[in-house]
Amino acid sequence: MTAASPIAPSVPLRAPRRAWLTDLPVLLVAVVWGASYLAAKGITTTHTVVAVLVLRFAVVLPVLVVAGWSRLRALEPAQWRGAGVLGLVLSGIFLLETYGVVHTSATNAGLIISLTMIFTPLAEAAVTRTSPPRAFLAAAALSVGGVVLLTQGGGFTTPSLGDLLMLLAALARTVHVLAMSRIKAVRSADSLSLTTVQLGSAVAVFALLATVPGTGASPWSVALDFGPREWAGLVFLSVFCTLFAFFVQMWAVRRTSPSRVSLLLGTEPLWAAAAGIALAGDRPGALGIAGAVLVLAGTTWGRRAADEGDR
């Protein structure tokens, strides 16, 4: 359940012996993102999804506003509108992801959402009317086959509602990435300002939904009912999975290459599976384990094939 990724130019790489000083914080972001599915599952129910989303982002939004106030004021009206549209898409992503993780395992959630790395180049190829490399198509087929096996770990049954919602979330993430690359107004926008406006728009959507009858408990009642464990989970999602993750990405991408950062963040589904199995007792079974391996292999192969095709 990741935050928006900043886009920044690369700079010359640092000496190899010091590369780990940059790689380690980025890898830590992948670890906390992988654990975020389990954390969200632990503090959220079907009736508290919207409330938890309001609380999660309301905690970090003031910090982002204060940190980037001068740059926010410098945004042009078209940039505000473009970022606002992206924020609407982002709100849909978080709603799908959070409802999805409530209805499936943390392991399935983290692995299924990784299909975004496959869907995005395929969608880009469709929009630009170009053919992706054959190796990428083979990797995509491998990943899809892996998801089928992953969701059938207990025998071939109908995929759960949560699995389907996570699949929709992966598609929504693809729409978000394509929109970011095609809305001209946001291409020149500052990364911090762009993320702040997007999260602000998403919080506004969640706050409006919270007032609609039938959407669950109010944020205030949920906050009052939270105990130490729930507050710890919320702080983890807000501070580490959102605020910390954003600033580490923005820091790292200026000290190494965007490709290197992307490669490290691509380990997120591995950590999601590890957290689900080790901490939540997820038991994917032999078919599920085989599917997880195929998903990881397919997304890794697909990312490399897409990079080679771009070059």
pLDDT tens digits for 202-220?
999 999 999 999 999 999 9
Give me the pLDDT at residue 32, please: 95
Q: Which residue has the higher pLDDT, 47 or 305?
A: 47
| pLDDT tens for each residue of 103-135 | 998 888 888 888 888 888 888 888 888 888 888
In this structure, is the dihedral angle defined by the CA atoms of residues 275, 279, 281 and 286, taken in order, positive or negative? positive
Q: What is the pLDDT of residue 9?
A: 39
In the prediction, which pLDDT does 13 show? 44
pTM of the full predicted structure?
0.84
Q: Are 143 and 304 in contact (CB under 8 A)?
A: no
pLDDT at residue 14 in the model: 47
CB neighbours of residue 247 within 10 Å = 18
Q: Are 39 and 233 in contact (CB under 8 A)?
A: yes
Tokens in use for 3?
Answer: 């935050």
Percent of the chain with pLDDT over 90: 43
- What per-residue confidence (pLDDT) applies to 180? 85
Would the pLDDT of 11 be above 80? no
Residue pair 16/181 in contact by the 8 Å Cβ criterion: no
